[in-house]
Amino acid sequence: MANQRDAVKKGKEEAIFTAALSAIKEKGFHKARMSDIAARAGISYGLVYHYFLSKEDLFDALLNRWWEGLFTLMSGIKKSPEPLREKLARIIHYFLDTYQKEPELVTIFITEISRSTSNLTPDRLENFKTFMSSTEQVIQEGQDKGMLRTDFKARYLTYIFLGALETFVSTMVLADQQIKGNAQKNRIAESILEVFLNGAKQQGI
């Protein structure tokens, strides 16, 4: 019986998530209303508040899907003995894979958080800082092992790497250009890697 209740709850939450992604992508966070989301989810207005206390609470639940996956990835990368190139490739592919599978989630992340200061609360900003710090550790490791040049601070190289990745994905989002398949996705990842590593590579390697 408990399993059945859990399944029903999860189904309702998924319906709300899907509806919220659609409504926020179409109208923007501030113009999307909980009543819009309820209607799209096919459930009562009051039931939405049974699962989420407010629109902000629902919005953070959506964003946490992005951050939880990314933080799990970064935790694994920091422990992994794999080469620097593979570690950076895994970060790039997280962005591209998610955009390929859940374009609305990435669109909302880019338009409502990454490129919008009005929605960047202290807690949301802290997630950015955590991700930046984790990436900087990967870059610092590359410098320590002689793979990346050391005449630039690891923090600056981190900004360059993530800036290139975010700009590329943002351009695709704003142009409403979808990833057409794995071959295209792999070419995009390889191009970002090549441009970054060739510029940041330690001389003589």
Check whether residue 152 and residue 67 sit in a common domain: yes
- What pLDDT score does 120 carry? 84
pLDDT digits (tens, 9 = 90+) for 68-99: 999 999 999 999 999 999 999 999 999 999 99
For residue 7, being part of any structural domain is answered with yes
Considering only 55-69, 115-129, 137-151, which range has the smallest mean pLDDT? 115-129
Percent of the chain with pLDDT over 90: 77
Check whether residue 84 and residue 169 sit in a common domain: yes
Q: Give the CATH number, domain containing residue 40.
A: 1.10.10.60
For residue 205, being part of any structural domain is answered with no
Check whether residue 37 and residue 77 sit in a common domain: no
What is the rounded average pLDDT of the residues 152-157? 97
Check whether residue 8 and residue 85 sit in a common domain: no
Reference 42, options 13, 61, 15, 21; nearest CA is 15
Check whether residue 31 and residue 98 sit in a common domain: no
Check whether residue 13 and residue 71 sit in a common domain: no
3-state SS of the chain is: CHHHHHHHHHHHHHHHHHHHHHHHHHHCCCCCCHHHHHHHHCCCHHHHHHHCCCHHHHHHHHHHHHHHHHHHHHHHHHHCCCCHHHHHHHHHHHHHHHHHHCHHHHHHHHHHHHCCHHHCCHHHHHHHHHHHHHHHHHHHHHHHCCCECCCCCHHHHHHHHHHHHHHHHHHHHHCCCCCCCHHHHHHHHHHHHHHHHHHHECCCC
Q: Give the CATH number, domain containing residue 155.
A: 1.10.357.10
Check whether residue 9 and residue 67 sit in a common domain: no
Domain count, the chain: 2
CA distance 97 to 92: 9
The range of the structural domain enclosing residue 28 comes to 1-52
pLDDT digits (tens, 9 = 90+) for 156-180: 999 999 999 999 999 999 999 999 9
pTM of this prediction?
0.89
Check whether residue 18 and residue 69 sit in a common domain: no
Check whether residue 100 and residue 175 sit in a common domain: yes
- Read off the amino acid at residue 4: Q
Tokens representing residue 99 in the block: 């955009």
Assess whether pLDDT exceeds 70 at residue 6: no
Check whether residue 35 and residue 86 sit in a common domain: no
Assess whether pLDDT exceeds 70 at residue 128: yes
Count of CB atoms within 10 A of residue 53's CB? Answer: 9
Check whether residue 111 and residue 68 sit in a common domain: yes
For residue 139, being part of any structural domain is answered with yes
Count of CB atoms within 10 A of residue 23's CB? Answer: 24
Check whether residue 106 and residue 140 sit in a common domain: yes
154 in Cβ contact with 139 (< 8 Å): yes
